[in-house]
Structure 1
Amino acid sequence: MNIVYLLLGVNLGARHEQLRKAAAEIEEHVGVIIERSSIYETAAWGMEDEPSYLNQVLLIETELKPQLLLAKIHEIESRLGRTRLKKWGSRLIDIDILFYNDFVIEEEFLTIPHPLLHKRKFTLLPLSELTLALMHPVLKKTIQELLDELNDPLEVRRLSGLDSLTDSN
């Protein structure tokens, strides 16, 4: 089995429901969810005039190889209404592979670890809930060290009690 950390993000539609649907699709088509972070709300990164995002990190186990995992993730995003119109634009769902075991992959359409994870508070905060000691295989720093060195001014806040909430925006 392979250990994978995925980042889910959404800033359009029924955001909480989209996160739930994405997790259900991942369990059905990708692998077993071992652990979930809290859900965080953050201003849009890279396109500050866009609606705020909800983000969550999932720790999963999967038998899928990295390239097939990426293909399955793209299928899930498509089923949930994702269209790829502009970089960092608003979306109904975004699923990023943060880590896949301790693999380092640099291909045209797949880079693992995610090349921007160490620069994004909305990624590192939920990831830090699941692991502080995980070593970034390229930067040779733990998640805790990356978080300590982070210089990301965007506001990121942890939400709680979300299982009972619904959200229409």
Structure 2
Amino acid sequence: MARAVLALGANIGEPAHQIAKAIEAIAGHPQIFLLKQSKLIVSEPWGKTDQNRFHNGAVLIETTLSPLELLDFCLATEAEIGRVRIEKWGPRSIDIDVITYDDLTMESERLTLPHPYAHERDFVLGPVREIAPDMADWLLNQAGRKSA
């Protein structure tokens, strides 16, 4: 069983409802066990700033899915909720990012772990710190190692 953190965000449609739907799908997967869920926060957009504010949160899970299987599930869930990818960091009905997967570090065409920008985003670190302070500390430690 691997322990992972997923970050969720949305800024179009009904963000809180879409995030709740995503968490329901996560909790309903037979190979995913929802351990903790953060409160939702509202934050300014990051990267592309001329858009609506985001609702953000995170979940701590245990799973028997591999990292890429987990990514595929997240992408399929986004599509089911209506996510259409038009522009990088643009408006979205739902975003589900794999932030950590145990203490695995990996870089592939499809997935980088830990998430390469998580340590720079308070809207990720705050919810992660709420549900898994050890993982938030690990994210910051990994970022420090990369910059050294």
TM-score under structure 2 normalisation?
A: 0.90
More helix by proportion, 1 or 2? Answer: 2
Count of residue pairs brought into register by the alignment: 141
Q: Which residue of 1 aligns with 2:85?
A: 84
> 1:15 aligns to what?
15
Cα distance in 2 for partners of 1:126, 1:139 equals 18
2:104 and 2:114 in contact (8 A); partners too:
yes
Deviation for aligned residue 1:12: 0.7
Q: Report the Cα offset of residue 139 of structure 1.
A: 3.3
Distance in 2 separating the partners of 1:28 and 1:132: 25
Matched residue, 1:139: 143
AA aligned to 2:33 is V
- Tell me which amino acid in the other structure corresponds to 2:3: I
CA-based RMSD of the aligned residues comes to 1.4
Corresponding residue of 2:94: 93
- C-alpha deviation, 1:131, in angstroms: 2.6
Cα deviation for residue 46 of structure 1 reads: 1.2
Answer yes or no: is the 8 Å Cα contact 2:60–2:132 preserved in 1.
no
How far apart in 2 are the matches of 1:20 and 1:138? Answer: 30
2:60 pairs with 1:55: no
Note the alpha carbon deviations across 1:2-60, whole angstroms, 9 max, x for none.
10000000001111110110001111235111001111000111111100100001001
Q: Corresponding residue for 1:120?
A: 121
Quick one: distance in 2 between partners of 1:73 and 1:49?
Answer: 26
In structure 2, stretches of 5+ residues that fail to align are: none
Is the 8 Å Cα contact of residues 22 and 76 (structure 1) preserved in structure 2? Answer: yes
Quote how far apart the aligned CAs of 1:133 are: 2.8
Using the aligned pairs only, state the percent identity: 36
Please name the residue that 1:154 is paired with: none
Q: Rg bigger for which structure?
A: 1
Aligned with 1:4: secondary structure? strand
1:103 paired residue number: 104
Gaps of 5+ in 1: 142-169
Moved over 4 A (4+): none
Shift of 1:140: 6.0
Give the TM-score of the pair, scaled to structure 1: 0.79
